[in-house]
A = this chain, B = another copy of it.
Amino acid sequence: MGLTVVGSVALDTVETPAGKNADGLGGAATFFALAASRYTQVHLVGVVGEDFPQEHIDLLSTKGIDIEGLERAEGKTFRWTGRYHDDINVRDTLDTQLNVFEHFQPELPEAAKKAKYLFLGNIHPSLQLEVLRQARPEFVALDTMNLWINTTRKELEEVLAKIDCLIINDEEIFELTGERNLVRGVHKIQQMGPAIIAPKKGEHGCLLFVKNKIFSAPAFPMADVIDPTGAGDTFAGGFMGYIAQQDSVDYDTLKRAVIHGSVVASYTCEEFSVDRIALVTQDDIDTRFEAFVELSRF
C-alpha cells in the first residue's frame, strides 16, 4: 500500500516546565513519519539544509522510512523555537526561521507518487495542490492552519474539495466556517469536500466525524507531560499509518485509527523531541491501546 507524507522537517528548540531541549529533531513530517513507520511503509517528502545532522537522517532510515524524497538544499534547516506555559496546553512561538523550507518545492519520487495513502502536512495550499497533481493516491488526509485559512482561502478550498479527510482543531474550524459550535462547523466543512473530519482537542482527546456518524476518543491522562511538541503530527501519523496497514477506511477501522493516533501521540509527550516516539515498540502500542480500551469501556 504505502503512505506518503509531505511536510516540514525541522530543528526545534523547546522550553517546557520540565526543562529545555535545543536543536532537537522536529517538524510535522518527521513526527508523522516516525509514528506511521510503526504501521506501514512511509515515504517522506521534505527538505533539510546543509546543517541537518547525519544522525537524524540515519535515524529515519533505521526506522525503515523511505527518504528518497527528503531533499538536502543549500542553506539552513527550518528552525522553530517555542516556550510552553505552566499550563502545558498553552505555548508561545519565540522564533521561526523557515530557511530552506521557505522555497520548498515538493518533488515526489516514483515510490511516493504510487503510494495508495497520502498525508498533506501543513504547507501552503498551492504546494498541497502541486503534490496532488504529482501523486496518484486513493485516500488523502490533510492538515492546515489559521495562516492558510486566513491568507489563502481560495487555494485551501480548492484542496479541501479534493481530499477525503481533514485533521483540524476547534479554533481552525471556527476560522474556516465562522461556527463556534463544533458540530455545525464540521457539517459545513463536510460540504466543502472531506466526508471524514477529525477535530483534535489536545488534552481532551479527539472526535471523528464520518458522514453523519460521530466517535469520541479520550486522551490518555498523563501525570508527566515532558514536551507536547509533535503530538498532533504523531497523532496524524498513527491514524494514517494504521489505515494504510489495514488498507481500509471503513468506520470501524477509522475509529481504531483514531485510538492508534492517540496512543502514539501520548508517547510523544513523554520525552523531548522524538526521543520517545523513535523508541516505541509494537509491545508499547499494544499495551497502551489496551489502556485506551480500559479508559473508555463501560
Contacts and interface: CB of A to CB of B under 8 A. Distances in A.
Interface of A: 86-88, 180-184, 187, 201, 203-205, 207, 214-219, 221-225, 252, 255-256, 258-259, 293, 295-296, 298
A2 to B, nearest CB: 25
A216 B222 contact: no
A223 B86 contact: no
Nearest to A254: B298
Given A216-B296, A296-B296, 15 more contacts: A86-B180, A88-B180, A181-B223, A181-B225, A183-B222, A187-B223, A201-B204, A204-B204, A204-B205, A205-B216, A207-B221, A214-B221, A214-B295, A216-B295, A255-B298
A141 B214 CA distance: 32
Contacts of A183: 221-223
Contacts of A219: 216
A247 to B, nearest CB: 18
Contacts of A256: 298
A69 B278 CA distance: 62
Contact of A216 (B86, B87, B182, B218): B218
Contacts of A205: 204-205, 216, 218
Nearest to A251: B298
B298 A215 contact: yes
